[in-house]
Amino acid sequence: MFRQPLLACLVTATIAVSPTARAQMMKTPDATMPAKPPAKTVPSSKGEVHLSFAPVVKRAAPSVVNVYASHVEQRGTSRSAMDEFMRRFFGEQGSGRGRGMPGERAQKSLGSGVIVDESGLVITNNHVIDNMNEVRVSLSDRREFEATIVLRDPRTDLAVIKIKSPSGGLVPMPMGDSDALEVGDFVMAIGNPFGVGQTVTQGIVSALARTQVGSSDYQFFIQTDAAINPGNSGGALVDLQGQLVGINTAIFSQSGGSHGIGFAIPTSMVRAVVETAKGGATTVRRPWLGARVQSVSADIAESMGLDHPTGVLVASLQPKSPAEEAGLKRGDLILTVDDKVVDDPEAFGYRFALKGITGTAKFGILRGTTRSTVSIKLASAPETRPRDALKVRTRSPFLGATLVNTSPAVAEELQKDFASEGVAVSSVDEGSIAARAGLQIGDVIVAINGAPVTTTKDLERMTRASQGMWEVSINRGGEVLTSVFGG
């Protein structure tokens, strides 16, 4: 998967409105009733086909920006053999990506973003600014500003940055309702592909609620055939009214270029992240259910009297969790979240994550042959004990791994179900000894050389001791695996 953003294409209202619908729109609406949207129709004449997308582009384009991010690292006086080779034969640029000043190593990233508030807040993809410490924003009128990183949310692949000292004239893009999109709707993608400058492409919504893309934890993507290419990440997917309906984030490609399958994060999730940033928080807090759910197969659906597989099945419950306190039981089938249908675990996780951490959410469930509604208290997962993060730096099978004490909060972050307290792997450096040893995020260390491990302090003490052999037992998804490593 080559991760890129998608852009939306707009058309004028005239294209989509028939003469009958236009006449209806001229009537004065009843003040007590919401205005009924016009019926969607195909162009009915050659003149309508020749109408232009230009008015929508003029409205939306000033809100889309180019994002230039870099990570500049000061190098010490000691040099690796590769650094010395690069200095002698190619000049003072080191072995990092990009060129920097003498004594610096620079990494660079290019993407797009969308202004969502007059104060200078810009939404973009997290992978555009990931690991970066310097960000600049270029507006459509070619003004450039430094920006600060306000919020990163890797689980949605979204981030919020803020333009420093904007001189006025910022045009925020209004947010549309991504839930109102239908397959076949016109959209436009606006961004900065390949760094050539602001570019507009058009297409249609080719699918909704895509959940097998793999670019974030919460997968519920809008799919479009509007051309998306490297540099579009973080750009705008725009509807017919010039409103933001998605943030382009990924493309399906075997060559790195657009093949007509792109994915955007819906504004229902974008709005939650932006509101968090506006409230001054630096992390997005999401509700904790305290239950594991699984997909419904055709056999399960048939056994429950369903016409087709739908909903998610409750597989397990954690003690004293909101799910258990609400009366959910193992085997319950969750069909809806606040009347929104959920067809698989990804759709359920997305819908539930949007609810925030105050109030309640209503689940429509099927228990046996009885349908009912259950009210779930919305609250963040508790950190029942300090995580005491440990980055292992001593030579052992854990070198290069970061480990934390387990808790419901850690389980929620890692999307794992920890049956008991222990020490979990929260990250593994690429190419490290821990990676080569096969450690994976979410593994729970059970024992080392037969001695139980319950806290990160236990593990730190054990890894300090020189060992000839390491016998490591881990719990991975409920199965205990034991491996032996040389010292």
Examine the fold and report which residue of 248, 278, 308 is the final residue of a domain before the chain moves on.
278
Catalytically active residues are 127, 157, 233
Closest CA to 240 of 56, 454, 58: 56
Assess whether 410 and 331 both reside in one domain.
no
Task: Give how far the C-alpha of residue 477 lies from the chain's centroid of Cα atoms, to the nearest Å.
Answer: 23
Q: 52 versus 153: which is more confidently predicted?
A: 153
Assess whether 398 and 436 both reside in one domain.
yes
Q: What local confidence, expressed as pLDDT, does residue 83 receive?
A: 44
Closest CA to 261 of 207, 192, 195, 191: 207
Examine the fold and report which residue of 93, 119, 151 is the final residue of a domain before the chain moves on.
151
Assess whether 348 and 401 both reside in one domain.
no
Whether residue 2 lies inside any domain: the answer is no
Is pTM beyond 0.75? Reply is no
pLDDT digits (tens, 9 = 90+) for 391-432: 998 888 999 999 999 998 888 888 777 666 789 999 999 889
Examine the fold and report which residue of 98, 118, 151 is the final residue of a domain before the chain moves on.
151
CATH number of the CATH domain containing 424: 2.30.42.10
Q: What local confidence, expressed as pLDDT, does residue 105 receive?
A: 59
* Strand, coil or helix: 459: helix
Q: What is the rounded distance in angstroms from the CA atom of residue 389 to the CA atom of residue 455?
A: 10
Domain count, the chain: 4
pLDDT at position 248 over 70? yes
Q: CB-hemisphere CA count at 13 Å for 7?
A: 32
Assess whether 178 and 265 both reside in one domain.
yes
Whether residue 401 lies inside any domain: the answer is yes
The parent domain of residue 67 ranges over 63-151
CATH number of the CATH domain containing 84: 2.40.10.10
Mean of the per-residue pLDDT values of the chain: 81
pLDDT at position 44 over 80? no
Query: DSSP string of 28-87?
Result: PPPTTSPPPPPPP----SHHHHT--SHHHHHHHGGGEEEEEEEEEEE--S---HHHHHHH
pLDDT at position 76 over 60? no
Whether residue 156 lies inside any domain: the answer is no
Assess whether 190 and 122 both reside in one domain.
no
Assess whether 425 and 349 both reside in one domain.
no
Q: 228 versus 215: which is more confidently predicted?
A: 228
pLDDT at position 38 over 70? no
Whether residue 26 lies inside any domain: the answer is no
Residue with tokens 């994002």: 67
Assess whether 137 and 211 both reside in one domain.
no
Assess whether 404 and 347 both reside in one domain.
no
